[in-house]
Amino acid sequence: MDSQEEEPIDRQDEPPISDLSWVQACLASNVQLHQTISPSQVQQISPAALAYVGDAIYELYARMFYLLPLQRLETYHRLVVAQVRAETQALHLRSLIPHLREAELEIVRRGRNASTGRPKRLAPEIYQQATSLETLIGYLYLTDIPRLTELLQKLHLEQE
């Protein structure tokens, strides 16, 4: 067999997991990863710093989402990279907009306005939308994990 071919790991003895409750539980258990930050301190964090945290949380969510069924590492990488691309993040933000509260829309606006620099291959609005999504995720991770989980579950990550 060619080492480049991707083959799922045999899981005949395991029942399929059809819901994301385990992803939700894993994300919620990460509360201990961050220090307690007061609401006034969160308001002082720059949108760029919130996006920095949000980027990591979003990638962790995507990695957990694709963890099952078991795959080869190359498959995990390909699936996750497709989700963390700015173009995909921009699509996800647009799909979430109707579900956002006023305060969340304000965070999105702050993230969009704080967006600086971008890869040359991207249109500025795509990069701004991706940064806005990361800013929102970072903000909710620090302030409201249940709401973050609710919104992440509304995303339609592609199943292979």
Catalytic residue among 2, 10, 13, 55: 55
Quick one: CA dihedral 9, 13, 16, 17, positive or negative? negative
C-alpha 118: how far from chain center:
19
C-alpha 156: how far from chain center:
11
Q: Write out the two tokens for 31.
A: 């509360």
* Cα dihedral 95/84/75/146 (nearest 10): -60
Instruction: Name residues whose C-beta falls within 8 Å of residue 53's C-beta, 6 or more positions apart in sequence.
Output: 137, 138, 141, 142
Q: Tell me if residue 55 is catalytic.
A: yes
Cα separation, 38 vs 83, in Å, equals 31
Which sequence positions are flagged as catalytic? Answer: 55
